[in-house]
Structure 1
Amino acid sequence: MRIATLTAHQSSVNSLQERKRRLNEAQEHLDSQKRVLRASDDPVAAAQAERARARAALSESQQRAVNASRAAMNQADSALGNVTELLTQVRETLVGAGNGIHSDAERAVTAQQLQSLRDQLLALANSDDGAGNFLFGGQGSSTPPFTDGAAGVVFHGTAGSQTTATEGLPLSLDGQSAWLRAPDGNGFFKATNANSTTASSDGGRVTDPSTFFAQTAPTTTYQVQFSVVGGVTTYTVSKDGAAMGPAQTWTGSGSGAKSIEFDGMSLGIGGTPADGDTFDVRMSQPSQSIFDTLDRAIAELKTTGRTNAQVSQTLGDALTGLTASENALSGLRSRVGLALNRADAAEDRSADLKLQAEDQRSVAEDLDPVQAIADLQLQKTNYEMALQTYAAVQKLSLFNYIGG
């Protein structure tokens, strides 16, 4: 078979160009420290690297959501910490107002102090994150969620909370349930002084839980009614309108409270009950508003000419309502703490996911430096050999032979 000089020359040129291309690619891979620069280098590895990058991007997105939730919950925790301090001041003010020698003017000063604390609490209830998102606005509100009006403080947000799409971490909190809808009374039942001006009731307590839960339903009501005949004071306890037994002689009087017990409950009555005085008891409902509690206390402390029993009832009701709201807001703060713990765990998972994705991407496309250097050296040697071959082929022509 005859091989023309032109064919040999072209073959040498093609080989030289191919060797040069491989040398350039080897140098490019070494400079970038990447084994796979384009899909054609290794289609399978390129696909694996792309999936790994997608997982890393997802983890970064999740981390941004975690950071947003953590920032909001830290702000909420700080706000609720301030709320706790204000509620402590409210309690101290109410207890101080119980001094029996205080005048109407002194009680009016106490009312002003409570009004100031109440206004500060409302401002904290409308706390935002600095970007226009209200921390206690539920699922979202473009305006302050709590507004003050003639009927008291009203919630204009949407019940529930905003959460992140992936981990479900909260970005806002349902403030309505804690600020306005705590279980009223002592959390089990609520006692109300219906008409007495000479006696008062405390918040009551459950003394026998098994009996209480067995004998009561959400709609169960009780009434304690006093009767004074011939200087003898008796009382009757009715359940859902029916007397629970015969009238009992009342032996308590003065400032010390005497307990009346029924169906696993105990209700303390202080002062001197008058004929016809009535105290109503119903099961607790989610209707306790810290603002309503303070509004009633402020209004009643501003009212002049009230008896010591009436003032005692005002303060007792306010302290009972305050305790209920404190418990609800404390529970909300506990949920904030749990959310922060979840954020820490979510951050760890996100970091692990990103690290795994980076490892998988590295395995798929990163270069082995030792192997890359060896490959570059090989391509250099091949290129030099191709140059020498090309130089030798150039001499294989008739003109070189004649000229020789």
Structure 2
Amino acid sequence: MRIATANAYDNTIAHLQKRQQELAESQVRLTSNKRVLRASDDPTAAARAERALAAAQRAQVSQRAVDASRNAMTLAESALGDAVDMLQAVRDSLVAAGNATYTDAERKSIAEQLQQYRDQLLSIANRSDGAGTYLFSGQGTLGQPFVDAPGGVQYRGVGGAASVASDEALPMTVDGHYAWMTAPSGNGVFETRAVTSLGSAWIDAGRVTDPAAILDRGYDIDFSVTGGTTTWSIQRRNPDGTPDGAPVTGTYESGKAIEIDGMSFTISGAPADGDRFSIEPSTGSLSVFDVLDRVIAGLKQPGAGSGQVTQTVNDGLRDVDSLLVRMQSVRSAVGDTLNRADAVSDRLGETELQAKTERSNAEDLDLVEGISDFQTRQTGYDAALKTYAQVQRLSLFQYLG
């Protein structure tokens, strides 16, 4: 077999270039710490790595959504805490307003203080997250969710809550209508009201004595004073307002409980002839701002009798207590959301770590194996260079010369 010198040189250079390329690829794998640089290196491992990368990216996107929800709920929890503190201050002022020795001017001063609390509560209800989203806007609003209109504060948002765009159902806002406008009226079962009070009588919030006997009815309590004797008459009302059966009557004693249909309430003071009180089923329509507006108006009324003042204060304390329960309930729900966000964040962190581990197992290089492979290829390349140097000197022209 005849081997030309040029052919031998070409074959040797081709082998050198191949070894040099293998050495360069080994060096790239070593410096990048990647065993799979292209899908053609290991199609199966490349597919595993791509799936793991997609899973890690999904976890990262979900984590950003969870962080956004956590930040919004942290601000909402803080706002609700401020509202609870403010309502507690309102309650303290109402207790002070019940002082029988206060003059009209002193009660008016307390009413002005309550007006400031009311304005601060409105500011809290319209608090934003600093990025243009209102914390209590529900499912969205074009502007501030609470508007101070002539007829009272109105809610312009959409009920419910907006959620983050991820697989985890975490809220970005709080349902402001539920939190601020729909606390249960009265004691949660029925509501006592003073309809006409010309004397000094007032009615308390009442209590339930027999839940099974409660009827979905309204009641009118009328007083009659004849010959120094005061009597009361309770007339049940049908839902359409018509009388329901014969009235129940009794002799009035101040501070003595009156019971009817599983309900007990107390009327104290000296009612005048023709005074009327009523009992209505409780509704979920108690608004923070309406309550304060009624209390402020009642305390500002000049020449109000002791019964009217006591009624205003007691109704205000009853309603504020209901509002406090609602606020604390919503605050607890927001706290539960924060705890859930922490749990979701931990789970997403584990998912991302698992995906990164899977990707590393699929495409990362074993450093010990990589260093050994690099050294082996380097040794082979050095040997090929030395061989080529020896073969190059075996040219026929060197002998002919």
Q: Deviations over 1:168-219 (max 9, x none)?
A: 212111111121121111111111111122221111122223333xxx34xx
TM-score computed with the length of structure 2 as normaliser: 0.92
* AA at the equivalent of 1:226: F
Please report how far the alpha carbon of residue 122 of structure 1 lies from its aligned counterpart in structure 2 after TM superposition.
0.9
SS in 1 for 2:197: coil
**Cα drift, residue 151 of structure 1:** 0.4
Q: Decide whether the 8 Å contact of 2:160 with 2:174 is kept in 1.
A: yes
- The one-letter code matched in structure 2 to 1:41 is D
Give 1:346 shift: 1.1
Report the counterpart of residue 55 of structure 1 in structure 2.
Answer: 55
SS across alignment from 1:193: strand
Counterpart for residue 197 of structure 1:
198
Q: Tell me how far apart the structure 2 counterparts of residues 26 and 126 of structure 1 sit (CA, whole Å).
A: 62
Instruction: Give the AA of the match of 1:77.
Output: E
2:233 corresponds to: 236
Q: In structure 2, give the amino acid aligned to 1:99.
A: N
Q: Aligned partners of 1:22 and 1:211: how far apart in 2?
A: 92
TM superposition score normalised by structure 1: 0.92
1:173 aligns to 2:170 (yes or no) = no
Gaps of 5+ in 2: none
Q: Post-superposition, which runs of at least 4 consecutive aligned residues in structure 1 deviate over 6 A?
A: none
Q: Describe the SS at the equivalent of 1:287.
A: coil
Q: Aligned pair in 2 of structure 1 residues 374, 224: CA closer, same or farther (>3 Å)?
A: same
C-alpha deviation, 1:22, in angstroms: 0.4
Structural mapping, 1:152-301, within 5 Å: 152-166=152-166, 167-198=168-199, 199-212=201-214, 216-217=215-216, 220-239=217-236, 240=238, 241-243=243-245, 246-250=248-252, 252-253=253-254, 257-301=255-299
* Structure-1 residue corresponding to 2:312: 314
The aligned amino acid for 2:382 is E
Q: Distance in 1 between matches of 2:179 and 2:258?
A: 31
Q: In structure 2, the residue corresponding to 1:182 is in which secondary structure?
A: coil
**What's 2:92 paired with?**
92
**How many residue pairs are counted as aligned between the two chains?**
394
Counterparts of 1:197 and 1:137, CA distance in 2:
43
In structure 2, what is the equivalent of residue 109 of structure 1? 109
Find the aligned partners of 2:343 and 2:61 in 1 and give their Cα distance: 16
Q: Aligned AA for 2:195?
A: A
Please show how residues 6-85 of structure 1 align to structure 2 within 5 Å. 6-85=6-85
Q: Is the 8 A contact 2:147 2:156 kept in 1?
A: yes
3-state SS of 1:384 partner? helix
For 2:343, give the aligned amino acid.
A
Paired with 2:329 and 2:161, the residues of 1 have a C-alpha distance of 15
Q: Does structure 1 retain, via aligned residues, the 8 Å contact 2:94–2:317?
A: yes
How far apart in 1 are the matches of 2:263 and 2:249?
18
- 307 and 170 in structure 1: CA distance in 2 versus 1, 3 angstrom threshold: same
Q: Give the aligned partner of residue 325 of structure 2.
A: 327
Matched residue, 1:352: 350
Q: Which whole-Å deviations, capped at 9, do the CAs of 1:135-169 have from their partners, x for residues lacking one? A: 11112234221111210111111111111122121
Contact 1:133 1:142 survives alignment (8 Å): no
Corresponding letter in the other structure for 1:356: Q
Greater displacement, 287-296 / 41-50: 41-50
- Residue 368 of structure 1 corresponds to 366
C-alpha displacement of 1:230: 3.5
Give the partner amino acid of 2:303. Answer: G
Q: Distance in 2 between matches of 1:104 and 1:52?
A: 74
Percent identity between the aligned chains? 49
